[in-house]
Amino acid sequence: MVKDNIIPNHMDIYWHDYTGHVKDKPITEASVPVKAALIGRVGLMLLSCGTGAWRVRSSMNALSEQLGVTCTASIGLMTIVYTCFDGHKTFTNSLALNNTGVNTSKLDKLERFVKRFPKEGVYKSGEQLHSELDEIEKIRGLYTPFKLGLAAAFACSAFTFLLGGGLIEMICAFIGAGAGQYLRARLIRKHYTLYMCTILSVALACLVYIGALRLGQLFFHISSGHEAGYICAMLFIIPGFPFITSGIDLAKLDMRSGLERLAYAVLIIVNATLTAWVMSSIMGLHPADFPELSIPPAIHLLLRLAASFVGVFGFSIMFNSPVRMAASAAVIGAIANTLRLELVDFADFPAAVAAFVGALTAGLLASALMKRLGYPRISVTVPSIVIMVPGLYLYRAVYNIGEMSLTLSAPWLVSALLIIMMLPLGLIVARIITDRSFRHCT
């Protein structure tokens, strides 16, 4: 289909053409190609939500068992190659997405579709099942670009406080991140490329932050010592979801998916940090430590809990989570992230070890809570620890590399890598403890 005089590079798949000649019989009586089309479509839709290969394969296997076929699949970031066979016939297919992202609301609906399939789906025809999937497919963004910008504004403002910034930095980061994410959401809706969305939104966030600060200096006589917070205005771009899911996939030896997700996350990080470095060079900015805040420990603890809740809630909204799901992730994230920060400040834990404990806590809390709420675990655990991803460390590492200060860059880069490795490891250990099926490689 041609849209806006642009010929798509990925052709549309007309799934209803693959429902079989007899469309009123149950899917269990259909041919292998018809069954395989349903299995593949569900897998591809799950993949489009940003979930990892292990979860996609598990769902495809669950459908295959009910349909009486065996399914083997090789799953990447944006492609699935799979074979279905029933002892007599074999059908191999290759499917690809035209883009990737995160949509926890659609993920929740798909998981419920798979869970209901043994009791309801097996009695429906291929036509009926694809019609149900059509409705799930229509779930795009629950929120307008303005609301997504607002979510990013609150999340990055909270992130600023957790990193040590004060009220001025929080206000400027709120305005900058809101503008950047608003632009990013509008560009994504128009299907612009990853590079364009990342570079333009980060550049705008930095410009708006400095613009807001300069206006504050002009009208309210704010001092010039608040420029360090411009880094926080771009942290909405940090690809926490693919970072975390890549680690989980690698733990299950889904090497293809894990490495592709890692490469995708690194691609975003490189583009974002290089853009921020260029902007800082143009505007004459230099990353610096925030002035120390004089807050009593008890009040600081409460403020950290509140900021962590707001930050995780904002990131969850950006992942298209319904409000109730986002609030669940925010409660878990508030506890886990505050514990992490307190361990660093009062128990002298290394930042990477504290990150592991925080992620482990988030995973254990999610396992206990999700049994009651019924949400997909990944839609709560990953948003709850995204706020722990060291975007500030990564930026300062790249900034110093750009300035050829390799000695200064190394500590920031190594610290960031250690934390990034520990975050998925904490979730993995929590999953091993609470999920028997996850402990085995079968």
Cα torsion 176, 180, 186, 192 to 10°: value is 170
Task: Read off the tokens for 360.
Answer: 């482990």
Per-residue model confidence (pLDDT) at position 21 = 63
C-alpha atoms less than 13 angstroms from C-alpha of 48 in its C-beta half-sphere: 20
Q: Is residue 318 scored above 70 in pLDDT?
A: yes
Phi-psi region at 320: left, alpha or beta (left = phi > 0; alpha = psi -120 to 50):
left
Nearest CA to 241 among 384, 433, 34, 434?
A: 384
Question: Vertex 160, ends 157 and 107: CA angle to 5°?
Answer: 60
Give dist(CA 379, CA 51) in Å, integer: 9
Nearest CA to 239 among 274, 208, 271, 209?
A: 271
Per-residue model confidence (pLDDT) at position 1 = 46
Average pLDDT, the chain: 88
Cα torsion 226, 419, 386, 261 to 10°: value is 120
H or E stretch covering 94? strand 90-96
Confidence of residue 23 (pLDDT cuts 50, 70, 90): low
Which residue would you say has higher pLDDT here, 167 or 22? 167
Confidence of residue 101 (pLDDT cuts 50, 70, 90): confident
Q: 239 CB contacts (<8 Å, ≥6 apart)?
A: 264, 265, 268, 269
Task: Read off the tokens for 167.
Answer: 């009220």
